[in-house]
Amino acid sequence: MILKKEKQKAIIVGGSIGGLSCAKALILAGWDVVVLEKSHAPPMGSPTGAGLGLDTLAQEIIQSWLSQPELLHRVTLPLTIDQNLATDGAKKVSWVLTRDENLNFRVAHWTDLHGLLYNALPNEIFQWGHLYLSSCISDDKTFVKVKAKVLQTDEIVEVDGDLLVAADGSRSSVRQCLLPDVKLRYSGYCAWRGVLDFSECENSETIVGIRKAYPDLGNCLYMDLGSRTHSTLTELMYKRLNWIWFVNQPEPELKGNSVTMKVSNDMIRTMHREADKVWVPELAGLVKETKDPFVNIIYDCDPVEQIVWDRVVLIGEAAHPTTPHCGRSTNMSILDAAVLGKCLDKWWGADENSSNLQSALEEYQSIRLPVTSKQVLHSRKVGRIKQGLRLLPDRQPFDPKAANSPEDWQDLQQRNIPHFADVPSILDSMFCST
């Protein structure tokens, strides 16, 4: 008689896109999973978050997870063009620095992508309103125990599993316990962010003007580089425009674990006045018409040397907090999840020896850590270039108005990030038909 191998159980802390991706990858690897998330419910239909770009590999991974792969294209728009513009705020003119017409990204609203992944998972795996408190590994290292608070009742519950996956973001509570000396690094700037829904005002002066100034919207990632500042502009599905504007400033004081900051009406009015000074009128008008803009404080973290411990593993922003300039955060989280799932499937699927778990985690770390470390540092460099911040004592800050050679521009394009198009060999079986 052939005995059916008992399923391993993973406890995933964090129900954002990284956590959902990990849940899907591990289920496909034959694991049971439970997801602990402090939010009280999934953000279905909520305006939470903003736009994000998916590279070719992330698109293929997500589609491999869906019973209907075409659903990804129903909630995303193509980004085949990556264009960097220089803007003279005084003269109110812009001109092209770089243009790459082979980007092959797609852009989604955070909520739309989250909903797509959430609907591909069993509802019963989620424990909403559960705040992670602590974890410990048993003395014989055969299981991990997690304590969480049920926010609605203040009850403390314990969950046992074979693996703890920390997908709890850049301010990860799990990472802080494992690496107490590792701190987030403030970038030197924050980002105003907003999404304008123009479904009921397609022919307004603002929308007509922005389409004239940015004719490839709906197919292009626009980057405007001004004097010691830059912005991004993309169109999202369902007639929405997503913009981000990075502003150099001292580090704000944060409360709690959020990296977003509440803004007052006075702050918004000041931001509107500055937009008139810095950007072309069409972009400034879009910024001023957007309701409820918010501020992200931009952090990253020096690369760590370790992202696995016995039965604990870090993925996504918990493993490698990064700045947003190279579109890496979501893409790294999705790739982390896919690689982890394949490593677990390879080693735990080999036989019934649970000691293979450590081999799986070590392979995951060996594949992902060198890549993400380089990408975090490259994204940091790109952010400092675009914000006009000094890179080296003997190198002058970047000035887009004086950038006249390809050497000046080479770091601006998405495809110049290290390992931009690399596919880990462990994922080859996912795309054997391509």
pLDDT tens across 81-98, in order?
999 999 999 999 999 999
- What pLDDT, on a 0 to 100 scale, did the predictor assign at position 77? 96
Q: What is the mean pLDDT of the chain?
A: 92
The predicted model scores a pTM of 0.94
- Average pLDDT value for residue range 173-180: 96
d(C-alpha 341, C-alpha 344), whole Å: 5
Q: What is the mean pLDDT of residues 112-139?
A: 96
- Of 30-34, 136-140, 275-279, which gets the smallest average pLDDT? 136-140
Q: Across residues 236-242, what is the average pLDDT?
A: 94
Instruction: Report CA torsion sign: 296, 234, 232, 337.
Output: positive
Task: Provide mean pLDDT across the span 314-336.
Answer: 96
Sorting pLDDT into bands at 50, 70 and 90, what band is 2?
very low
Average pLDDT over residues 54-71: 97
- Give the mean model confidence (pLDDT) for residues 56-71: 97
> What pLDDT digit, counting tens, does each position of 186-236 carry?
999 999 999 999 999 999 999 999 999 999 999 999 999 999 999 999 999
